[in-house]
Amino acid sequence: MSYTLTIETTGDEIEVEEGQTMLDACLRAGVWLPHACCHGMCGTCKIDVVDGEIEHGEASGFALMDFERDEGKALACCATLESNVSIEAEIEEDPDAESIPVEDFNATVERIDDLTPTIKGLHLRLDRPIRFQPGQYINLTIAGKQGTSRAFSIASDMSDPTTLELNIRLVPGGEGTSWVHNELQVGDSVHLTGPYGRFFVRHSAQMPTLLLAGGSGLSSPRSMLLDLIARKEEQPITIVYGARNRSELYYHDELAALAEEHDNVIYVPALSDEPADSEWDGFRGFVHEAAETHFDKDFRGHKAYICGPPVMIEACITSLMRGRLFERDIYTEKFLSAADVQQTRSPLFKRI
């Protein structure tokens, strides 16, 4: 038996299993709540229960006072749900978040492109228009697997709101991506829900944009870039995009053309494993190295958005921070695997 937890501050809705704490459910769903000790002693994760019944669990009488319990406070790290529950948490309001409700969509596969030897471009025609913020993702239901879905970032912009493009890399042995690569055919019907995620451009900051993309992680940055151009953004936009070799670097020509066409768009491609004797005359190395070289290790005054495999994200964050750009200006989309959740992190950083 699971219940729905609504975080009214952000509009997120997540499922909480029986006996699972609110904090655990939120963190696993990618909703960050302030927390520290994780066992009811410190009170960092205190939240307001607006509606519904909860059980306080092991919350210490010193960390959660009686008068606070009477006022509807709870410690997310200990509290479990006894019904569907709505809470308010101390999460900073984001002026750029549009809080678009998640909906279900049916769609038809309109086209499948071979973008690279390992990445397919999936073009879907939806049964009605979708609204999303470029950078967000959807959950695609795997056919024949009721309730099993996979998250994919949207690679298209909103110029045609009834189409979505997804760029999907074949993960060896991966159930979802194998189905997309090996079974899905043009004309098939699929089901998806969305949009999800807090990864989108902070237009209100009015600052130059730096997009860092690795492999099929180009999806979100490409969507963001197309949208920024459509909005006639005048601030500088730099996109650093890397892949192993030239054959994996898809949309290279499109990005080069966009940079050619728009004075404020700079495109920096990078290949990390291109044969030494090839004709490639661009940067050779990883995305973070290309960015360091291009910006001479000084990233101050940007808003940076990173999308790609976890090691690439980690390397980019380190490069940005050593180049004096810090957490408040760095955004990432992390698709946490079960292994990532297990890794011990300190509470030094909240989002990155």
Partner 1 sequence: MDMPAKPKKKLGLKERYAVMTRGLGWEPSYQDIDDIFSMDSFEGIKIHDWDAWEDPFRLTMDSYWKYQAEKERKLYAIIDAFAQSNGHLTVSDPRYINTVKMFVNGFAPLEYMSHRGFAHIGRQFRGVGPRVACMMQSLDEMRHAQTQVHAISNYNKYYSGMENFRHHHDYLPYLQVPKSFFEDAATGGPFEFITAIGFSFEYVLTNLVFVPFISGAAYNGDMGAMTFGFSAQSDEARHMTLGLEVIKFMLEQDPDNVPIVQKWLNKWTWRGVRVLTLVAMMQDYMLPKRVMSWAEAWEIYFEENCGALFRDLERYGIVMPPCVEQVRKERDHLSHMAWCQFYQARGTSNFHVWLPSEEDMDWLSQKYPDTFDQYYRPRFEEWRRMEEAGTPFETTGINMQCQVCQIPMFFTEPGDPTRLAQHHCHHEGEQYHFCSQWCQEIFEDEPEKYIQSAIAGHDVFKGKAIRPEADPTAEDFNPAAEALAFWKLENGRDNGLHYGSQDERNFSMWRGLASSNS
Q: Which residues bind to partner 1, rule: CB under 8 A?
A: 36-37, 41-44, 60-63, 65-67, 90, 92-93, 317-318, 321-322, 324, 326-327, 344-349
Give the 3-state DSSP-derived string for the chain, with helices as H, strands as E and coil as C.
CEEEEEECCCCEEEEEECCCCHHHHHHHCCCCCCCCCCCCCCCCCEEEEEECCEECCCCCCCCCCHHHHHCCEEECCCCEECCCEEEECCCCCCCCCCCCCCEEEEEEEEEEEECCCCEEEEEEEECCCCCCCCCCEEEEECCCCCCCEEEEEECCCCCCCCEEEEEEECCCCCHHHHHHHHCCCCCCEEEEEEEECCCCCCHHHCCCEEEEEEHHHHHHHHHHHHHHHHCCCCCCEEEEEEECCHHHCCCHHHHHHHHHHCCCEEEEEEECCCCCCCCCCCEECCHHHHHHHHHCCCCCCCEEEEECCHHHHHHHHHHHHHCCCCHHHEEECCCCCHHHHHCCCCCCCCCC
Instruction: Report in angstroms how near the CB of residue 311 gets to partner 1 at its nearest.
Output: 14
Instruction: Report in angstroms how near the CB of residue 343 gets to partner 1 at its nearest.
Output: 8
Instruction: Report in angstroms how near the CB of residue 42 gets to partner 1 at its nearest.
Output: 3
- C-beta closer to partner 1: residue 56 or 191: 56
Instruction: Report in angstroms how near the CB of residue 218 gets to partner 1 at its nearest.
Output: 24
Both tokens of 185, joined, read 């055919």
Instruction: Report in angstroms how near the CB of residue 71 gets to partner 1 at its nearest.
Output: 11
Instruction: Report in angstroms how near the CB of residue 146 gets to partner 1 at its nearest.
Output: 38
Both tokens of 78, joined, read 């200990």
- C-beta closer to partner 1: residue 78 or 166: 78
Tokens 């964050």 belong to 317
- C-beta closer to partner 1: residue 338 or 348: 348
- C-beta closer to partner 1: residue 339 or 348: 348
- C-beta closer to partner 1: residue 107 or 320: 320
- C-beta closer to partner 1: residue 92 or 277: 92
Instruction: Report in angstroms how near the CB of residue 327 gets to partner 1 at its nearest.
Output: 8
* b (16+ CB within 10 A) / e for 205-244: eeebbbbbbbbbbbbbbbbbbbbbbeeebeeebbbbbbbe
Instruction: Report in angstroms how near the CB of residue 75 gets to partner 1 at its nearest.
Output: 11
Say how far apart CA 160 and CA 293 lie, in whole Å.
37
Say how far apart CA 20 and CA 85 lie, in whole Å.
13
- C-beta closer to partner 1: residue 36 or 256: 36
Instruction: Report in angstroms how near the CB of residue 114 gets to partner 1 at its nearest.
Output: 38
- C-beta closer to partner 1: residue 62 or 131: 62
- C-beta closer to partner 1: residue 34 or 161: 34
